[in-house]
Amino acid sequence: MQKKLVVLFVIVLLAFLGLSIQIYAISRDKGNEYSKTVLSQQSYDSRVIDFKRGSIIDAKGTVLADSELVYDVIVDAKQMLSKDYYLEPSLHALEELGIDSAAVRRYVTDNPSSQYYIVMKNLPYARKTAYDERLRVGREQEEENGTPVKDRIYSNIKGIWFDANYIRNYPNGSLACDVIGFTNGSNQGQFGLEEYYNDTLNGTPGREYGYLDEMSNLERTTIDATDGYNLITTIDANIQSIIEKYLKQFNDEHANAVHTGNGANNVGCIVMNVKTGEILGMGSYPGFDLNDPYNIAMVTGMPRLNEKDAPSGEYLTGEDVNAMSADDQTRYLNALWRNYCISDYYEPGSVAKPFTVAAALESGSITGNEHYDCQGKLDVAGWEIYCHNRYGDGIISVSQSIEMSCNVALMEIAFAAGKENFCKFQDIFNFGLKTNIDLANEVRTDMMIFDADKMNIADLATNSFGQNFNVTMIQMAAGFASLINGGNYYEPHIVSKITSASGTTVRNIEPRILKKTVSAQTSAKIREYCHQVVVGPNGTGKTARPAGYMIGGKTGTAETLPRQNNEYVVSFMGFTPVDDPEILIYVVVDRPNVVFQADAKFATGIVRNVLTEVLPYLGQPMTEPLSESEMEELSQLEESNAYAIGASGAPAAEEVEEEETVSEGGIPEGTEDFVTVGEEEKKEPAWKSFEIDPETGYLIDPSNGHHIDPDTGFDYDSTYADEVVTPIP
């Protein structure tokens, strides 16, 4: 047995010896060939060629987002040290690129076999091409001068190479940040168009392969990257910049007024083409820099968030922001990045009243000739539900119920329609559901909309004037557009065309009519009712009319939850021209930083400013005479080069003739059949005779010293001013 084991051991030993001899022979004869094979696989098999993410472009060709070609600077220490006269010229070349040569020297010395070390990221294309040109010229001169090889500088720069890639760039900084969104380091879109169209904007990466042919020569095969598609949007950068200018101006005027913080919790604005559903501009405040979206300082002034990420009554200071944990930074940045116009919900307030009237008209529940007696409140199933005018509006028509924004009349109109019709038309107007706008993170509010079988009479009453249900800004804008354009509900959209990297059209996105909401006759009545909001003697939206133009619209005021907190969302929905609307504008101010929040003038002021510039820019001619103050206002805008970018084409003030728009009795011509006010003479409201407080601009009730809105009669100091509904004692 021992002899057998010895023989087996000798055989195994001889086998290993033979194998070792064979390995040595292979290494001696074909070592270089195999080394090339390994080098090819290591250096080239996994080299990915980045694609260029598509651009986002406005309707006039302005680039809103693109991808910039940049380079990572790579050092190959092994090659740099392969000859003793390569190191110094190479380090000098790195210095010219702005790289710390001393640090590179230490790395190369400590890691002489390293072949891939990134010493700089995102070197701009212009600097790289300038570097290449210097090397080319220098090498040619050294060749012409016959400089000895070891003494050459440019020809001895070795071990430096460049890896091309792309970074996302936003040329206009924060412009349209809520609409565009941004990308992370992995080319994945976050929020807005970047996220919604992520797969469209992203292309397909390429790859470079290396292999050895039959002669052991290194060959390369490259599969080029396919660049992403471009988005052509309906956004007009000029209109967008006008919107954002006045949102910022509002914030600057009201920031830190009553409490430390921004001018409002949120301010949003949508400008929309009512005949196509195209969004011409959409913005909110506060915003952020798309090139620096993680700048946590931008959340300063925002409301503190509670454990459910809802705003509290306190506001962030700079010290709060500096002390934030990483988790809190994430929470607040996500709140900053949210698009208020599509991702936040609120009670719409009186902007919903035209929808209530339209539902009653369209269902045949009213004709438009009815009158209602408002005494300042209405008893509904054991509850006292107040009108915004606690003095009462008296006997008013359907038209005046919109003009004066009377809660009592709207409740009576909703009762006439009934809860089944009311809820049916809320669904027709798409309240509660997504509009399917092409932006990421649009929310539904269907869980905050009543079904008819769960609605009681008090719910119907409060819903009639926009309380006790929730919507988003885009839901309201899309629904209201159908209300005034003849009843066509267009799907709101922001992208009009998708093109390839070469500019070829891949897809046209045409306007889509999804449904019919109301008849043309009902739409015409609603337009005229909303016109009276601006021109009527008691209209609540007079301050929204831009200089030289006539508009229609509706104001809105809604108390936030919890009730009796004296915090309000105020808004204005406007449109122009009145007879054949083309442009809709919707502004919402969420809890303005003022003493008396329940004043729609905070929204109407923004609307007026935006339209004063946007309408001339769009080429709409002025239709109304200009007062001296308006002429001075426009003159100052022209001098500051701010007025609609000088593209108005609007006639000068002296060229505009005043047109008669109402009959002798104060009724719009051609509409007497549905806005008659009866034979009785309308009494002037008692509050109209009150004197104005010069400090606040509000009227003062001499009987109690309360502040009264001069247009609506709203009592800001009443013990029930912040209570829409109270139980009857």
Give the closest residue to 691 by CA, choosing from 671, 707, 670, 675: 707
> 6, exposed or middle or buried, with CB in 10 Å at 0-12, 13-18, 19+?
exposed
Mean pLDDT of 26-49: 57
Distance between the two ends of the chain, CA-based, in angstroms? 114
Query: Residue 371 class from Cβ within 10 Å (0-12 exposed, 13-18 middle, 19+ buried)?
Result: middle
- The angle that helices 457-464 and 353-362 make with each other, rounded to 10 degrees, is 110
> What is residue 301's predicted lDDT score, i.e. its pLDDT?
96
The enclosing H or E element of 283 equals: strand 279-285
Q: Look at 583 and 720; give whichever has higher pLDDT.
A: 583
SS3 of residue 198 by DSSP: helix
Say how far apart CA 546 and CA 552 lie, in whole Å: 11
Q: Name 10's Cβ contacts closer than 8 Å, sequence gap at least 6.
A: none
Q: How far is CA 708 from CA 389, 484, 497, 598, 668, in A?
A: 9, 32, 51, 11, 28
Per-residue pLDDT tens digits for 76-135: 999 999 999 999 999 999 998 999 989 999 998 999 988 889 999 999 999 999 999 999
Cα dihedral 186, 190, 195, 198 in deg (nearest 10): -10
Read off the pLDDT band of 27 (50, 70, 90).
low
Would the pLDDT of 41 be above 70?
no
Q: Using 50, 70 and 90 to split pLDDT, how confident is the model at 14?
A: confident
What mean pLDDT value characterizes the chain? 86
> Pick the residue with more confidence: 4 or 229?
229
pLDDT confidence tier of residue 29, bands split at 50, 70 and 90: low
State percent of the chain over pLDDT 90. 64
User: pLDDT digits over 353-370, tens only?
Assistant: 999 999 999 999 999 999
Across 629-701, where does the E strand assignment appear? Answer: 691-692, 699-700
Does position 704 have pLDDT exceeding 90, yes or no?
no
pLDDT attached to residue 34:
59
- pLDDT at 36 (0 to 100): 52
User: CA 634, CA 655: separation in Å to the nearest integer?
Assistant: 15
Report d(CA 545, CA 608) in Å as an integer.
Answer: 6
Please list the residues that pair with 270 across neighbouring strands: 282, 586
For residue 543, the model assigns a pLDDT of: 94
Q: 340-653+671-727, what's its fold?
A: Beta-lactamase (3.40.710)
Report yes or no: 64 and 176 within 8 Å, Cβ to Cβ: yes
Give me the residues paired with residue 552 across strands.
Answer: 575
Give 494-543 pLDDT, tens digit per residue.
Answer: 999 999 999 999 999 999 999 999 999 999 999 999 999 999 999 999 99
What would the pLDDT profile of 418-436 be if each residue is shown by its tens digit? Answer: 999 999 999 999 999 999 9
- SS3 string, 73-121, reads EEECHHHHCCCCCCHHHHHHHHHHCCCCHHHHHHHHHHCCCCCCEEEEE
Is the pLDDT at 219 greater than 80? The verdict is: no
Task: Give the pLDDT score at 649.
Answer: 39
The mean pLDDT value for 167-174 works out to 95
Between 271 and 22, the higher pLDDT residue = 271
Confidence grade of residue 641 (pLDDT, cut at 50, 70, 90): low
368 and 525 in contact (C-beta within 8 Å)?
yes
Would you place residue 726 in the very low, low, confident or very high pLDDT band (cuts 50, 70, 90)?
Answer: low
Radius of gyration of the chain (CA): 35
pLDDT value, residue 439: 98
Q: How many CA atoms lie within 13 A of 197 on its CB side?
A: 29
Q: Which two tokens stand for residue 221?
A: 């095969």
**How would you class 478 by CB atoms within 10 Å of its CB: exposed for 0-12, middle for 13-18, buried for 19 or more?**
buried
Q: Is the pLDDT of residue 328 over 70?
A: yes
What count of other Cβ atoms lies within 10 Å of the Cβ of residue 49? 15
| Tokens of residue 710, six digits | 């001069």
The pLDDT-based confidence of 644 (bands split at 50, 70, 90) is: very low
pLDDT bin (cut points 50, 70, 90) of residue 561 is confident
- Burial of residue 464, with CB atoms counted within 10 A of its CB: 0-12 exposed, 13-18 middle, 19 or more buried: buried
The answer to whether residues 365 and 416 touch, using CB atoms and an 8 Å cutoff, is: yes
- Taking only the tens place, the pLDDT of each residue in 410-422 is 999 999 999 999 9
The per-residue pLDDT for range 393-406, each reduced to its tens digit, is 999 999 999 999 99
Q: What per-residue confidence (pLDDT) applies to 40?
A: 45
Instruction: State pLDDT tens for residues 647-694.
Output: 343 444 344 443 433 333 333 333 333 333 343 344 566 667 787 877
Q: Are the C-beta atoms of 192 and 298 separated by less than 8 Å?
A: no
Half-sphere exposure of 174 toward its Cβ, with a 13 Å CA cutoff? 18
> CA nearest 396: which of 677, 679, 686?
677
Distance CA 164, CA 92 (A): 22
